Structure 1
């Protein structure tokens, strides 16, 4: 009698529908294989926490599984500072600098991380978060949710 090894993915049973950290990072890697998934997630979360209100960041975090939630902390560079009202260019530049990436590749990074995030969130929460994002970020958020308009 042979035993088969089965890979198990923990399921998140909280408000969101997400999975464990490894599965989440695997989804990011599948979207943007040219970037280290954890660094890309950190760069996007760092910029989001700089741009969004503390209440929205907390609401966002609460939708994630506990081990994915650990990834969503403000960068060590920005802890203790009030969120800045970054415009689009500053936001994109912050993500690009964090990853040492070209600014023109940032939308693809955002789309990849957002697509993975949407697997962690309930549809209603995703729409609520979208409504509170800056207009220039809402399109990328919505496109990632609907799995359309993936930047090349």
Structure 2
């Protein structure tokens, strides 16, 4: 089978289509259903980030990738002050995964998200993240090896 590189979509970011995005997630997280992993992480981020940042992030995704995370609804305008355990538990419960694997899941989805958004958008997101997530976001952006 021949590898075909999908061209960038024409939005603000450099994102590609749903299939290419999910393939990037699968490459990072072969033991997880990629669409569910994306939804789990994005729903947790939606609760943690301000609404304006979430909207800007969504706008950088191609329309068919946006559909993956469209079910994630913010419960209020202000971000929740989830501590590390609550955030990780949110992702683990959504994904039905062991909490020990959440950092790996975050890294994999973040790496795929970085392939979709601009550097400037990444900087906006990281400026709003707590330290316990910020390191994983930055490691995924720099292409640092995923945690084990």
Does the Cα contact within 8 Å between 2:53 and 2:124 map onto a contact in 1? no
Determine which structure has more spread, i.e. the larger CA radius of gyration: 1
**Do the aligned partners of residues 10 and 97 (structure 1) sit closer, same or farther apart at CA in structure 2, a change above 3 Å counting?**
same
| Shift in Å, 1:93 | 0.2
In the other structure, the counterpart of 2:44 is 47
Gaps of 5+ in 2: none
Partner-residue secondary structure (3-state), 1:17: coil
The aligned length equals: 145
TM-score (norm 2): 0.90
TM-score (norm 1): 0.88
- Work out whether 1:109 is the aligned partner of 2:96: no
Gaps of 5+ in 1: none
Give matches, 1:3-152, under 5 Å: 9-75=6-72, 79=73, 81-82=75-76, 83-152=79-148
| Shift in Å, 1:8 | 6.9
Show structure 1 runs of 4+ deviating over 6 A: none
Q: RMSD of aligned C-alpha atoms?
A: 1.9
Q: Distance in 2 between matches of 1:73 and 1:142?
A: 24
Instruction: Identify the structure with the greater helix proportion.
Output: 2
